[in-house]
Every structure is written in C-alpha cells, then in structure tokens.
Amino acid sequence: MRPYRAVIFDLYWTLLYEAKTGLEERATAVALEAGAEPEAWRRAWHSTMEASFKGQVSLLERTRMALARAGAKHCDGELPEKLAGLMGARSIPRLYPDVREELPKVRARGFKLALLSNIASYRANWLNEIELAPHFDTMVLSCEMGIMKPDRAMYLAAAERLGLAPQECVFVDDVPPYVAAAQAVGMAGIRINRFDSEKPYAHEEPTDVTPDLAIKDLSQLLEWLPPRAGAPRE
C-alpha cells in the first residue's frame, strides 16, 4: 500500500459549482447589439476559453476576440466593456455543502492539500473571496502556468510544490480524462461524480479509464483515506 501524504483537488464541480445570476441573457442581448448573432456569439465565446484558461488574454481581450470571431461590427469601445462586465458576473461560485466540513478533516489527518484547476485569471480571485484558498498548501492554476489539464506538467508541478513524489499523492476530479492523466504520472486517481450520472461527460469519457475510487461526495473520500497521512489504509 502506497503511503499517501497529500490530496490534490480539482475545483469546478468537485469543490464548487457556478450559480447563474441571470446576466448571461443580458450579455447575449449586448452581443446582438454589437452585431453578433446569439448562436455565433456563444460559439465564439467557447472557442476563446483555452486562451483565457491559459492566461493569454484578459476578460476584456477575450470578449473582443469572441466578438470579432462572431462577426460583430463593434469590437471596441463601450459595448465590449459592458459585455465583458456581464460575462464576468454571469455566475457566482458556490461551494458544495460538504467542502468546508470535510477539507479540515483531511488536513487534521496530516495530509497536505493542493488545488489543481483549469481556471481563467478573472475567476481566480474567487478562491480568496469565498475563503477557499487558505485550505491549501499550494495552488496550481492554469492561468498562471500557461498550460491546462490534462498536461502532465500540471500534475507534476502540484507534487513538486508539495515536496512529494506523485506516488504519494491522491488526485480528485470529476472529469475522467483528467483522472486518467493523474494516474499516468503515478498518482491515485479518484473520480467524484456529484451529478450521480454519467451524462455530463459521457461524450468524452474513455472506456479504459478506471479510477482507483469512485465517489459522490467528500465524506466517501474520508472513508477511503487512511486515518493519518503516510499510514496504510485499514
């Protein structure tokens, strides 16, 4: 049995979800005012996600880029600024109910904690605003690294910052390919599925991904982890 000494967590749909604010509809209306058809705007916004997650563009730059790709006539000035504000506020972060209770329990057993997330820079401030950052010894964010999961360098960076070998780390994520990438570098891979359904990722889930553990919430992670870091599981 490997002596696990750290748990590395994904963020979205693992520790938090996004609650809609109702502003996305207003944003679509502004995109239309700028000269972009709604469906073209949605496709263009999605196409700029990787650049945003890698920290290559700001929120306003992403908005201008998406408008241009959507064929808008007004890609500068007041409309893009208004649209960027709406897109940045179209959702707010909400922690799953078990997170604040269970994370301290993992730390109390002596495990180091890390966060590993594909996230845009304009949303990274969420981690401090909702007081999630203090739970972690280190955070590896795509917008700072310039790369995204499932790039193996993301996982290796998390282990290195913790001062541990990948084999001493447990990784928890909701996306099967990201779990598989953690296993490929030597980590234990745990798949959390808070939807209790395979639908969210069924279209991209490899058939050969077998997590070391499948859970629905963090209490099940606590049941699986040893009573203290470095000890064998009972």
**Is 124 among the domain residues?**
yes
**Is 28 among the domain residues?**
yes
Name which residue leads in pLDDT, 74 or 1: 74
pLDDT, mean of residues 152-177 = 97
Local structure of 141: helix, strand or coil: strand
Instruction: Check pLDDT > 60 for residue 169.
Output: yes
Under a CB-based contact definition with an 8 Å cutoff, are residues 73 and 57 in contact?
no
Q: How far apart are CA 25 and CA 65, in angstroms?
A: 20
**Is 230 among the domain residues?**
no
pLDDT band at 197 (very low <50, low <70, confident <90, very high): low
**Is 229 among the domain residues?**
no
- Kindly report the number of other CB atoms within 10 A of residue 54's CB atom: 18
Q: What is the mean pLDDT of the chain?
A: 93
Name which residue leads in pLDDT, 44 or 195: 44
Among 178, 177, 160, CA closest to 169: 160
Among 234, 200, 218, 223, CA closest to 97: 218
DSSP state of 166: G
Rounded alpha-carbon distances, angstroms, from residue 80 to 38, 56, 147, 207: 15, 18, 27, 42
Q: Which two tokens stand for residue 46?
A: 């999605």
pLDDT, mean of residues 167-181 = 95
**Is 76 among the domain residues?**
yes
Domain end (from 69, 89, 109): 89
Q: How far apart are CA 115 and CA 103, in angstroms?
A: 12
Spell out the alpha helix ranges (H) of the chain.
23-33, 38-47, 49-53, 59-69, 78-88, 99-108, 121-124, 126-129, 142-145, 152-162, 176-184, 218-224
Same domain, 114 and 212: yes
Same domain, 12 and 48: no
pLDDT band at 198 (very low <50, low <70, confident <90, very high): low
pLDDT of residue 207: 54
pLDDT band at 195 (very low <50, low <70, confident <90, very high): confident
Global pTM exceeds 0.85: yes
Same domain, 81 and 149: no
Q: What is the CATH number of the domain that holds 167?
A: 3.40.50.1000
**Is 31 among the domain residues?**
yes
pLDDT, mean of residues 157-171 = 98
Same domain, 106 and 134: yes
- Kindly report the number of other CB atoms within 10 A of residue 90's CB atom: 17
Local structure of 101: helix, strand or coil: helix
Look up residue 139 and give its amino acid. M
Under a CB-based contact definition with an 8 Å cutoff, are residues 206 and 177 in contact?
yes
Same domain, 111 and 123: yes
Instruction: Give the count of domains, the chain.
Output: 2
Same domain, 117 and 57: no
- Reported as half-sphere exposure (CB side, CA atoms, 13 A), residue 161 has a value of 19
Domain end (from 60, 89, 118): 89
**Is 14 among the domain residues?**
yes
Same domain, 189 and 208: yes
Q: How far apart are CA 20 and CA 92, in angstroms?
A: 7
pLDDT tens digits for range 61-90? 999 999 999 999 999 999 999 999 999 999
pLDDT tens digits for range 89-137? 999 999 999 999 999 999 999 999 999 999 999 999 999 999 999 999 9
What is the DSSP secondary-structure string of 24-40? Answer: HHHHHHHHHHTT--HHH
Domain end (from 70, 89, 108): 89
**Is 231 among the domain residues?**
no
Same domain, 133 and 111: yes
Same domain, 135 and 189: yes
Domain around 44: 22-89
pLDDT of residue 17: 94
- Kindly report the number of other CB atoms within 10 A of residue 219's CB atom: 12
